[in-house]
Structure formats: structure tokens, C-alpha cells
Amino acid sequence: MRKYTPKENVQAKAKYTDRFWVAPQVPRNPVEEDEYFAGVLAAVKEAVEVLDAYIEIGQLVIHIRPEQNIEALRTLKEECGYAMCSELSAVDYLAQDGEFEIFYQLLNLKEAKRVRVLTRIKEDQGIESIVPLYAMANFAEREMYDMFGIYVNNHPYLKRILMPDDWEGHPLRKTYPLEGDEFASWYEVDKIFGKEYRDIIGPENRDPARVDRYDTQRFSRIGHEVPFGADPKSVDTTETPIEYSSEILSDYNKGPHKVLDKRK
């Protein structure tokens, strides 16, 4: 029987996992333990509904509803002093829950404290752009759209950023094949020559060390000269054997060189 391979997550998997293995959890401390973060959380709670909050490895984590991301971030920026958004992106949980998790990593420069705001959206659900609050989201949200296909509403210029504009699929989704799909592997051929040239050009070879021994038109190791495009076997090779010139390959260690052991 053919081996079953799940389609919703084609990423590398652990080769062996013990039956009784239970992954430990990074400790999540209650927010009340930290006086400063408790104040931040109270301010956020006044503005929006907080689903969950805890401190993980020294940073406050707040779970909110996706519709309220603007209000939550505005509160953090204007009331709590989180003037900079360091990073935002998403995590693909489509296979497990049919959802994306979006994170905003914020920084308060005065207190040197960091807060992470997490929210979950459905696959076909958009999220409001935070460009009015943090202009860095202009590039970061474009990258999120490019990599995950998450639509960002009211973004000033929502376009692919890393992949070509006419690309199909979103590479960081767990369903995206590791070596690219059919579109990816034929992208250049289709674009430059047309689909009908797929058979003539042949599939892409990804071996960087590959040399076609009998290709007389590109770089290859034939060892003797042949007319352009001619079959290398048709030429008598007995007169031009492969040999290396001893003049080119000389022993550099013999020469009267001086090696400096200290810089000047």
C-alpha cells in the first residue's frame, strides 16, 4: 500500500517520537507578578477585550480579538508608550484550527520593555492594517500578505514584495511544497519561452555540480576541441589526450618568496 502523506502540512516532520513523549511548556507567569506589566494590561483591558494574558520569557503576551487590533495597539502606543513596532507577521495554524495567528511585537524604548500582541483570524478573513499607527507595517504587512496570503484591509499598497508579482501560492504556508509546485518549477520556462517549450527544455536540474559530458555548447569537460554543436564522439580523441600544462600548475612553495609573519 502506498504510504499516506498528509497534504495540509508537507513540512519536515520528526523522524521518531517516543510514544510517551510530552513536550514541556515554557513557563507562563501570571501578569500580576510584574507590577509594570500589570499596569499595561489594565490599560489594554479598559480599551479592548483581552482573551488571555501572561508573561513568557520576560515579555508580556496579550491575546485579543482580530477586529480590535487597531484599538489595542493604539492604547499601547499612546497610553503605554510602546512607540515602536519591531516586527509583525503570522503563523500558519490552518491544518490544526483553520486559522492564522498574527503577532505584533512592540517595544517601549523608555522602559526597555516588550509586549507581544497575538490575534487569530480565519483563513478567508482579513485584518485591518496598522499602517496609520506604525509606518513600518507598510513593508511588514506586504511581506505577510506575500508569504501567507492574508489580506490586509486599507493597506496603502498591498502587493507582493519578495516573490514576483505574478507568482501563484504563498510560500510560508504549511501546504506549500518544499521544492515548489508545478508553477514554481516551470516559472522561467513558461514566462520566457511559453508552455509549449516545457518538453524541449526539460525539467529544472538543481544539482549545482552537474556537468553534461557531451554538451559541446556550454561549459563541459570534453577534453578536446570539437566543432560547434558536433557530436564529441565523432572526433578522434587519441591525438589530443587530456593533460595539464606543467607551466600553469607550478609549485608556488619553491619560489624565492618571503612570507611576512608580522604586519608592517
Partner 1 sequence: MQQQPNKLRPFFENLEFERDDNRMVINFGPQHPSAHGQLRLILELDGEQVVKAHPDIGYLHRGIEKMAENMIYNEFLPTTDRMDYIASTSNNYAFALAVERLIGLEVPRRAQVIRTMLLELNRIISHLFFLATHALDVGAMSIFLYAFREREFAMDLMEDYCGARLTHSAVRIGGVPLDLPEGWLSDLTAFIDKLPEQIKLYEDLLTENRIWRMRLEDVGIVTPEQALDWGCTGIMLRGSGIEYDIRKEEPYELYDELDFDIPVSDRCDSYGRYRLYMEEMKQSVRILRQLIGMYPKTDSQLMAHAPQYISAPKEEIMTQNYALMQHFVLVTQGMRPPKGTVYAPTESPKGELGFWIRSEGEPYAYRLKARAPSFFHTGILQEILPGTYIADVVTIIGSTNIVFGEVDR
Q: Does 138 bind partner 1 (CB under 8 A)?
A: yes
Cell reading at 227: 566543432
SS3 141: helix
Pairwise CA distance, residues 21 & 11, whole Å: 21
The CB-of-105 to partner 1 minimum distance in angstroms stands at 6
Pairwise CA distance, residues 158 & 45, whole Å: 31
The CB-of-23 to partner 1 minimum distance in angstroms stands at 2
Give the one residue of 70, 136, 226, 235 binding partner 1; rule: CB under 8 A.
136
Pairwise CA distance, residues 75 & 83, whole Å: 11
The CB-of-1 to partner 1 minimum distance in angstroms stands at 26
Q: Does 163 bind partner 1 (CB under 8 A)?
A: yes
The helix or strand, by DSSP H or E, that contains position 113, with its residue range, turns out to be strand 113-122
Q: Does 194 bind partner 1 (CB under 8 A)?
A: yes
- Looking at residue 69, the DSSP 8-state letter turns out to be H
Pairwise CA distance, residues 185 & 133, whole Å: 39
Stretch 21-60: interaction string toward partner 1, x if CB under 8 A: x-xxxx-x---------------------------xx-x-
Cell reading at 203: 525539467
Chain positions contacting partner 1, by CB under 8 A: 11-16, 21, 23-26, 28, 56-57, 59, 61, 83-87, 89, 91-92, 103, 105, 107, 109, 112, 114, 116, 134-136, 138-140, 143, 147, 160-166, 171-172, 176, 178, 191-194, 197, 200-201, 263
